[in-house]
Structure 1
Amino acid sequence: MDHKSFLASLSAEQCRELTETSDLSGLAHLALHLGAIILLGGLIVAQVPAWPVLMLPLGVLLVFLFTLLHEASHLTPFRSRWLNSLAAQFCGFVIFLAPRWFRYFHFAHHRFTQMPGKDPELAEPKPETWGQYILCLSGLPVWVSHLRTLIHNAAGRCDDAFVPVAKRATVRHEAQIMLAAYLALLAGSIALESTVLLSIWLIPMLIGQPFLRLYLMAEHGRCAYVANMLENSRTTFTNAAVRRLAWNMPYHAEHHSYPAVPFHKLPALHRLAAEHLMVTEQGYVRFHARHAPHLNGVADAAE
């Protein structure tokens, strides 16, 4: 069964229940995520004993705001449209990823998932050597790509096929505002001789980014180049803490099959789709243990 047949098997009532959004569910989840960020940031600013150690968990929480940005791009984490917009703008600003541009990028990814030449996520080649793998996990190419995209868009040079021509002025304006805000923060920090932003934002994100890379590589890595979302996307079984951190996006094949389902309904969708999933993995450590032997052409005997 492919994802289209699976969706056709759902009743109208099931579809209504699965796609019901909720401000309460979204805000409760956000409160935990932001609350943890604020708590750790406050402890670092207060320089409690061993405070540098706290920069790693803070960084992980910060970079995983990407998963909320992703959800907000679908307008699903909250019922209120303005909350989705605000969440996308906040998360995009924190992780240096322009939210409106990303929304067009991500919609193209959903429309052309795993289709070479059409899926923008395939524009950057997947790691095929140990050097490429380590570089990818470092997160450095991502930061370079985000900054390059912001500067490129701010200069009015956005020519990405997935961005409608009529919307490119808006994309330019968005990037210009973001860059101006970053420059203002930089100037303010220099004027005040403050390193607070380094310790609670920039350094934590640098050391947290590899954990996001480890997570994201499992979504489509080594999946088939086919149109069936149950086959070109991977659901990774993991613990409740990781699912909460990633806004339930480890249920990734389910999400790609039915993107209108909000994060808090994905476990219910999973229960309906479980027997039809074609690509799953028991945890992220196991995925990378199985993925890494393919590098440099060495076959994994378990495959």
Structure 2
Amino acid sequence: MDPLSEMLALLGTQSSVFAGLKAGGPWALDFPPPEGIKFNAVVHGTCELSVDGEQQPIPLKAGDCFLLSRQRAFSLGSDLALPAVNCETVYRHAVNGIAHCGNAGEFFLIGGRFAFGEEAALLFDALPAVAVIKHGSEQASVLRWALERLAHELTQPSPGSSLMVQHFGHIMLVQVLRIYLAQEASGPPSWLLALSDPRLGSVLQAIHAAPARRWTVEDLAQVAGVSRSTLALKFKQKAGASPLEYVLRWRMQLATRALRNSQVTISSIAQKLGYDSDSAFSNAFKRIMNCSPREYRKRQNAASM
């Protein structure tokens, strides 16, 4: 499994919601900060998007998509100078997940919201608060296809539509992240930025394929086809951590999933991640998670009750 797929699978979707909006005439809606990651795509028509903390409104047209990776309030409308209506007043009357505002024949937008666990920061903190994908790019072709299919399932539901909507929504999320990776050549150090570099991507792939291996910087430099010093420098610049620090962090991501989702013994988890003793595993875990594996499992069990 490639690193992006594995990361999304590791995070797991705690919940997801999909809905649509049809509008027309003069209109403007205010939306509260979303709980989790939110994306919307314009099926037809045009609108303006304003996000708290961003200086200028963003014009959107058919095929454009935007992803919100932070909990910030936002507004959509034909003209954002108009008095905005709270979105709850229109979405409470939604039919089959489609809300209507004004003359609901000029504009159609669909979107989804994904709630992930606390580990989502490793992936989504790398994204800007709002990422806009324009319809004209070649990479957006898959996104447009999924958008059309998702719109069809929302507006013309049939047996199995709920599952289809979930799958098309996930396809759109993955494609937005792919497009961001293809377009983003610079930015603050992050796991996602490292993945966008072909050589570092191969290193991440190797680490994810064998997390229990006793990796050295020399081993990882051979995977990347560069010198030890070059790898150490590039990895730090792109990922914001050393290669071996990343190995440790990835192991702890796998450990937290095992502690949350299974009753496997801590000794078994330690062995599967390449640790010779429970104490070595516990010390590594405390370094990253600020608590012991046993304490972490106890907290997670209490939170799920």
TM-score range, shorter chain: under 0.3
> Structure 2 length as normaliser, TM-score?
0.25
Which structure exhibits the higher relative contact order, with contacts defined as CA atoms closer than 8 Å and separated by 6 or more residues? 1
Comparing both structures, which one devotes a greater share of its residues to strand? 2
Q: Which has the higher helix share?
A: 1
Structure showing greater radius of gyration is 2
Q: Structure 1 length as normaliser, TM-score?
A: 0.25
